[in-house]
Amino acid sequence: MRILLIGSGGREHALAWKIRQSPTVSHLYCAPGNAGTESLAENVPIDAADVRAMVRFAVEQRIDLAVIGPEDPLVAGLADELMAAGVRAFGPDKAAARIEGDKAWAKELMRHRSVPTGEARIFTKFRDARTYVASRDSAVVIKAAGLAKGKGVIVCEDPAAGILALERIMVQREFGPAGDVVLVEERLTGPEVSVLAFVDRHTIYIMETAQDHKPIGEGDTGPNTGGMGAYSPTGLLNDALIRQVEREVFVPIIDAMRTCDIVYRGVLYAGLMLTAGGPKVLEFNCRFGDPETQPLMMRLRTDLVEVMNAVIDDRLEEVTLDWSPRASVCVVIASGGYPGPCEHGRRITGLEAAAAVPETVVFHAGTRRVGADIVTAGGRVLGVTALGDDFAQARERAYRAVDCISFQRAYCRRDIGFRAVGS
C-alpha cells in the first residue's frame, strides 16, 4: 500500500513508526513531516492545512490510504475531500470533527444525551460573559470554543482571574477566531485521564488507557499546554470504570451524532476528570491524542494499518487489538518559554545517544533539518518514549535518554508518571 500520513508532530512520528511496521506498506509519505519522520517516510513539503494541495498530491501519487493526524485539517473537511476524490481516508469527516472544532456544540450534545460533564454557560459577547463570571463566587474554567492547539483552556482560581482570562480570549483575541465563542464552566476536581477509542458505524473499540500531563509545571501546576508527557496504562481506570465510560460517555455521544445524521469513523478521544461523583467529560477530540499516541503506539502489537482499514470499511468488529502488558512513559522536551513564544533554530545534540537507551524511541515533534544539523522548530520539540517491565523501569529509561539530549533553553518536567510510580 502507498500511504500518506498528514501532520508534523510527535503524534505523526509515532504513527509513522507504527505504520512502517505493517507488511502491507510499500511506500510511506509524510506531509509535511519533521526531522524524525524522514527516516521512516518520504517527507513532502505540503502544509497539513492546505486541503487542495493535499488532495491533488494524494490523487497524483495514487495513494491507497491517507491518515490524517491533526485536528485542523479534519475540522476543515480534508477527509471529505479525499474521499470525494477517490482516496481512502482515516479520520472523521467535517461534520463529525465538529465534536472537537466546536466545544459549544459538543457541550450541547452532551447536555441533550445526559453525558456527564461540568455545568457550563456559553457566551458570544464579552460583556455578558464578564457579568456572569463576576456573579460567581468560586473557581471557573474559561474555554475558547474553537481550535486553540490545546492552549485555549484557562483554569481560574477566582472570578477576578476568570475576567482576565475572558479579556485575553475575547478582547485581546489571544487565540484568534477560536475565542469568538467561550464556555464558562465549573471547575471539576480529581485526576484527569484520557480514553481513546476506534469507532466505525457499528462498533466502539476502546484502546488501552493513558494519562497525560497538560500543565507546564511539575505537580501539574501552571498554564495548560498541548501536553508535557504521558504514560500508559493508568491504574486510575479499572475494568468497571472503563465499562462505565463506554456506557455513559461513548455510546450516548455517538448516538447523539447519529441523530444529526453524522456517522463517526476514526479515533474518538475523551478527556475525563475522575470526580467524586464519577467520570465527567472535559473535552472530546476527533483524533489521536498528542502525546498519548506515543506510549500507546509503543504498546500496540496489532497492525495499525489493518485497524484503520477496518474502521473505514465498517468492519471494526473483526479486529482484535493486542497490547503489550508492559508500561510506557513519554517525556516531552520543550523549547524554553513554551507555551508562550519560543525561539526556534536551536541545534539539538545527543539524539543518537538517547536512541541507544534500551527500548526507547525519540519521537520528533517540533524539529527540522538544516544541513547536517537537526534544530528546534516548535514549542514541543521531542517526545522521549520508553517501554519497561514496570513504570519505574520505563520512567528511568525515558529520563536517561532525556539527559542525553541538549539544546539551548530545553525544558522538561521531571515528574512525568509520578502518580503511577508513587513518587
Alpha helices in 300-348 (DSSP H): 304-312
Query: What is d(CA 312, CA 4) in angstroms, rounded to the nearest whole number?
Result: 15
- Phi, psi of 214, deg, nearest 5: -80, -40
Where does the chain hold its CATH 3.30.470.20 domain(s)?
192-318
Which helix (H) or strand (E) element contains residue 232? strand 229-232
CATH topology of domain 327-421: Glycinamide Ribonucleotide Synthetase; Chain A, domain 4 (3.90.600)
Query: What is d(CA 159, CA 261) in angstroms, rounded to the nearest whole number?
Result: 39
pLDDT for the residue 422: 55
**For the CA atoms of 131, 134, 137, 143, what is the dihedral angle to 10 degrees?**
80
- What distances in angstroms separate CA 33 from CA 6, 38, 40, 301, one per listed residue? 8, 7, 10, 24
Helix axes 103-112, 94-101, angle to 10 degrees: 100
What is the chain's alpha carbon radius of gyration, rounded to the nearest angstrom? 20
Q: How many CB atoms lie within 10 A of CB 340?
A: 11
Q: How many CB atoms lie within 10 A of CB 56?
A: 13
Assess contact for 47 and 11: CB atoms under 8 A: no
As a whole number, mean pLDDT of residues 396-407 equals 98
pLDDT per residue over 318-364, tens digit each?
999 999 999 999 999 999 999 999 999 999 999 999 999 999 999 99
CATH topology of domain 192-318: D-amino Acid Aminotransferase; Chain A, domain 1 (3.30.470)
CATH topology of domain 2-95: Rossmann fold (3.40.50)
In the numeric block, the cell 488532495 is attached to 55
Name residue 367's amino acid. T
Which CATH number applies to 125-180: 1.10.3470, 3.30.450, 3.30.1490, 3.40.50?
3.30.1490
pLDDT for the residue 419: 76
pLDDT for the residue 150: 74
Where does the chain hold its CATH 3.40.50.20 domain(s)?
2-95
Per-chain mean pLDDT for the chain? 96
- For 64, the grid coordinates are 491507497
Helix axes 103-112, 251-259, angle to 10 degrees: 100
Residue 387 DSSP SS3: strand
As a whole number, mean pLDDT of residues 120-124 equals 97
pTM of the model: 0.95
Where does the chain hold its CATH 3.90.600.10 domain(s)?
327-421
pLDDT per residue over 161-211, tens digit each?
999 999 999 999 999 999 999 999 999 999 999 999 999 999 999 999 999
Give me the residues paired with residue 232 across strands. 328
Where does the chain hold its CATH 3.30.1490 domain(s)?
125-180
Q: Both ends of the chain: CA-CA distance in Å? A: 45
Give me the residues paired with residue 32 across strands. 7
pLDDT for the residue 423: 43
Query: What is d(CA 47, CA 73) in angstroms, rounded to the nearest whole number?
Result: 10
Residue partners of 63: CB distance under 8 A and separation at least 6: 2, 3, 4, 29, 57, 87
Examine residue 32 and say whether the peptide bond preceding it is cis (omega within 30 degrees of 0).
yes
Residue 41 DSSP SS3: coil
Q: How many CA atoms, within 13 angstroms, populate the side-chain half-sphere of residue 370? A: 9
Instruction: Note the residue count of the chain.
Output: 423
Residue 184 DSSP SS3: strand
- For 185, the grid coordinates are 464552566
Residue partners of 307: CB distance under 8 A and separation at least 6: 198, 316, 319, 321
As a whole number, mean pLDDT of residues 221-250 equals 94
